[in-house]
């Protein structure tokens, strides 16, 4: 029994890889297929829940986890990844309700300085 979202995401990723391959503007090569037991792999899931020391992914029993920060906000998705050394990591995407930061100020004038050997400095 497999998670249907994982199968759908695999089809979406394959379609995107072939679109990039056939796009003459992109330098993409023919897609390489990852194996299930490859050295590095990742899994993206949207229907997930987490607690103080566990993460629940569909079709899997709750997984023990070391969560380093308080989960303040709504949990949107998770990406589980395995490194070459066999360690597993989870990256949680949380919506905290705070708007993105705006730039402090805009730059109106720019000065470029070129330092060379024959002339000490030339500005524009």
Segment 45-93, tens digit of pLDDT: 888 888 888 999 888 889 899 988 888 889 998 888 888 788 889 999 9
Structural domain contains residue 78: yes
pLDDT band at 1 (very low <50, low <70, confident <90, very high): low
CA dist 20 and 109 (Å) reads 38
Q: What is the pLDDT of residue 25?
A: 93
Structural domain contains residue 65: yes
Same domain, 66 and 44: yes
pLDDT band at 15 (very low <50, low <70, confident <90, very high): very high
- Indicate the SS3 state at residue 37: coil
Same domain, 20 and 48: no
CA dist 122 and 116 (Å) reads 8
- In the predicted model, what is the mean pLDDT of residues 31-47? 74
Same domain, 65 and 86: yes
Same domain, 41 and 82: yes
Structural domain contains residue 123: no
Domain span including residue 16: 1-33
CA dist 18 and 29 (Å) reads 9
Same domain, 65 and 90: yes
Q: How many domains does the chain have?
A: 2
Query: Nearest-CA neighbor of 71 among 52, 56, 58?
Result: 52
DSSP per-residue codes, 6-33: HHHHHHHHHHHHHHHHH-TTS---PPPP
Same domain, 27 and 51: no
- In the predicted model, what is the mean pLDDT of residues 20-47? 81
Structural domain contains residue 122: no
Same domain, 50 and 85: yes
Structural domain contains residue 105: no
pLDDT band at 39 (very low <50, low <70, confident <90, very high): low
Question: What is the chain's mean pLDDT, rounded?
Answer: 84
Same domain, 41 and 28: no
pLDDT band at 120 (very low <50, low <70, confident <90, very high): confident
Same domain, 69 and 84: yes
Q: What is the pLDDT of residue 64?
A: 92
| Residue pointed to by tokens 């070459």 | 84
Same domain, 16 and 69: no
Full-model pTM: 0.59
Per residue, what are the HEC states of 38-107?
CCCEEEEECCCEECCCEEECCCCCCEECCCCCCCCCEEEEEEEEECCCCCEEEEEEEECCCCCCCCCCCC
């Amino acid at each position: 029994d497999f998670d249907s979202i994982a199968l759908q995401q695999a089809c979406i990723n394959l379609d995107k890889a072939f679109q990039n391959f056939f796009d003459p503007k992109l330098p993409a090569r023919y897609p390489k297929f990852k194996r299930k037991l490859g050295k590095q792999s990742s899994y993206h899931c949207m229907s997930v829940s987490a607690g103080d020391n566990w993460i629940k992914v569909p079709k899997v029993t709750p997984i023990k986890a070391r969560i380093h920060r308080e989960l303040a906000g709504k949990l949107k998705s998770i990406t589980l990844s395995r490194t070459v050394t066999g360690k597993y990591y989870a990256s949680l995407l949380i919506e905290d309700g705070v708007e993105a930061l705006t730039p402090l100020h805009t730059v109106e004038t720019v000065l470029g300085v070129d330092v060379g050997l024959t002339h000490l400095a030339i500005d524009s």
